[in-house]
């Protein structure tokens, strides 16, 4: 197991190393900025939304009914009164007939659905047979929610966030994280200096646990036996023995539903009374750790693979500003200014104000987009020159190993963000890299730790 320092170096020192090489050959290169020196590099934890939701069920539309006007759904979302469960029964089945480039599509040519109403692990494709819950909008139009591949459980779109805490009743608070930290081979989990570092100890360990559990869950590596479940955390003790998490099924609970499991303890097999009980229960059939990649092609960047870059103004820029993905220096220079004091006192509201300002001012929007595009082109050239500066990460939302490409947004000399991209296979069998999003440095460090 590589230690956490490895991945820190990958994002930081490896870039610095490439800069040293460039300085020797070309007389200079970018310097890596410290996240702690950029107020806007701080980021806000997203609270886990409620899984069970109350909705109003409506019958499926009659065959042959006319296609609804898609615009009628924009301001009138449907409401439902059925509880959603991880393995809830399918309300209806249909074929995906048409997809648009505006974020919505049609089932059987007449039932409207928005991509945000698809399960988090489903990306709709024309011709797919899907299960869904039929609804009607406030204007009486047919609509589908909880869309997923036929026969698959519906998982909410935010399931990839805090997965372990939704699957069980575990509280990843200071006490729980401290007890686990005391068991593990020592790593520096609080390596990024932030104003909230003292208030949120082991924040990165918490993030690691949720995302590693998500990967194990997707791979079917959660072991169940005699009303108990176990998961290999991927962490080891000081003798390099795996650390497992043990859970028990709640009384009269369905093991396939979220929230049905109670956390018991972390343990090493055969160590102490808990480890001994764990050994007897699983009798050698212990859970194995999650795997984030399966071949060298997953973790090495190929500079000869095409890498087109197209920016979505709203998601990449406007939403990215609201989510604090851009450094303060970039916003100061290209987004019409940045007030550090207001950011510190009212971060969420202030970032929304900055995002709105950029979105409504075409000149600012153009300046920001142009700067991002130039930064990406420069980063691609540097990545081609030194592939070691491109770091593999696990991107939970897409359940795929992705890559981090260091970006210099404020100027050409300071690395202050990272571009996330993935390799995909096209219809003709060829490969290309696809841009996904932009991370601030704190997000980049967190995701890189998962494959360390």
Are 295 and 126 in contact, with CB atoms under 8 Å apart? no
At 128, list the tokens: 């797919």
Topology at the third CATH level for domain 70-149: OB fold (Dihydrolipoamide Acetyltransferase, E2P) (2.40.50)
What are the strands of the beta sheet with 391-395, ordered from one edge? 391-395, 400-407, 417-425, 431-439
* CA atoms of 389 and 311, how far apart (whole Å): 22
* CA atoms of 103 and 89, how far apart (whole Å): 26
pTM of the model: 0.62
At 30, list the tokens: 């970018």
Domain residue extents for the chain: 4-32+298-449, 70-149, 163-282
CB-based contacts of 23: which residues, under 8 Å, 6+ apart?
A: 29
Q: Are strands 261-268 and 228-236 parallel, antiparallel or unpaired?
A: unpaired
The pLDDT tens digits along the chain (452 residues) read 443 444 445 445 444 444 444 444 444 444 444 333 343 333 333 333 333 333 333 344 444 444 444 343 333 333 333 333 334 444 689 999 998 877 789 998 889 998 888 876 687 889 999 999 998 888 888 999 989 888 877 777 666 667 898 889 999 999 999 999 999 998 877 655 555 455 567 888 888 898 899 899 888 999 999 999 999 999 999 999 999 999 999 998 888 777 899 999 999 999 999 999 999 999 999 999 998 887 777 778 888 888 888 877 677 888 899 999 999 999 999 999 999 899 989 988 999 999 999 999 999 999 999 999 999 999 988 888 887 788 888 877 777 788 999 999 999 888 999 999 988 888 888 889 888 889 998 888 777 776 65
CB-based contacts of 293: which residues, under 8 Å, 6+ apart?
A: 299, 392, 401, 451
End-to-end CA distance of the chain: 8
At 35, list the tokens: 């996240």
């Amino acid at each position: 197991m590589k230690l956490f320092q490895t991945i820190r170096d990958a994002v930081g020192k490896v870039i610095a190393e490439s800069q040293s090489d460039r300085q020797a050959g070309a007389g200079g290169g970018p310097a890596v900025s410290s996240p702690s020196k950029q107020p806007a590099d701080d980021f806000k934890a997203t609270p886990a939304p409620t899984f069970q939701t109350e909705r109003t069920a409506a019958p499926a539309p009659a065959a042959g009914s006319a296609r609804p006007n898609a615009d009628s759904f924009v301001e009138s979302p449907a409401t439902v009164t059925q509880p959603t469960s991880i393995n809830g029964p399918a309300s209806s089945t249909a074929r995906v007939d048409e997809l648009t480039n505006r974020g919505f599509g049609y089932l059987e040519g007449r039932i409207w659905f928005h991509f945000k109403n698809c399960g988090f692990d489903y990306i709709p494709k024309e011709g797919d047979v899907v299960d869904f819950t039929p609804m009607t909008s406030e204007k009486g139009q047919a609509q589908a929610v909880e869309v997923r591949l036929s026969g698959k459980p519906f998982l909410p779109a935010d399931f990839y966030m805090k997965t372990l805490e939704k699957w069980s009743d575990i509280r990843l608070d200071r006490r729980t994280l401290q007890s686990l930290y005391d068991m593990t081979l020592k790593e520096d989990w609080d390596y990024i200096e932030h104003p909230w570092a003292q208030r949120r100890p082991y924040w990165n360990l918490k993030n690691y646990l949720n995302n590693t559990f998500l990967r194990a869950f997707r791979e079917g590596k959660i072991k169940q036996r005699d009303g108990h479940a176990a998961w290999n955390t991927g962490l080891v003790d000081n003798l390099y023995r795996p650390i497992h998490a043990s859970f028990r099924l709640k009384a009269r609970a369905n093991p396939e539903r979220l929230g049905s499991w109670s956390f018991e303890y972390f343990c090493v097999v055969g160590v102490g009374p808990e480890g001994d009980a764990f050994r007897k229960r699983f009798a050698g059939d212990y859970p194995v750790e999650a795997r984030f990649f399966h071949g060298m092609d997953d973790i090495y960047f190929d500079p000869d693979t095409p890498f087109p870059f197209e920016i979505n103004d709203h998601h990449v820029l406007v939403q990215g500003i609201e989510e604090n993905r851009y450094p303060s220096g970039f916003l100061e220079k290209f987004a019409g200014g940045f007030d550090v004091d207001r950011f510190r006192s009212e971060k969420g509201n202030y970032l929304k104000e900055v995002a709105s300002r950029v979105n409504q001012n075409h000149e600012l929007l153009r300046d920001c987009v142009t700067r991002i595009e130039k930064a990406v082109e420069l980063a691609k050239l540097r990545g081609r020159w030194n592939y070691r500066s491109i770091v593999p990460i696990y991107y939970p939302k897409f359940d795929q190993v992705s890559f981090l490409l260091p970006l210099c947004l404020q100027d050409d000399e300071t690395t202050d963000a990272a571009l996330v991209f993935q390799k995909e296979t096209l219809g003709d069998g060829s490969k290309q890299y696809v841009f996904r999003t932009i991370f601030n440095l704190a997000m980049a460090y967190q995701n890189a730790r998962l494959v360390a």
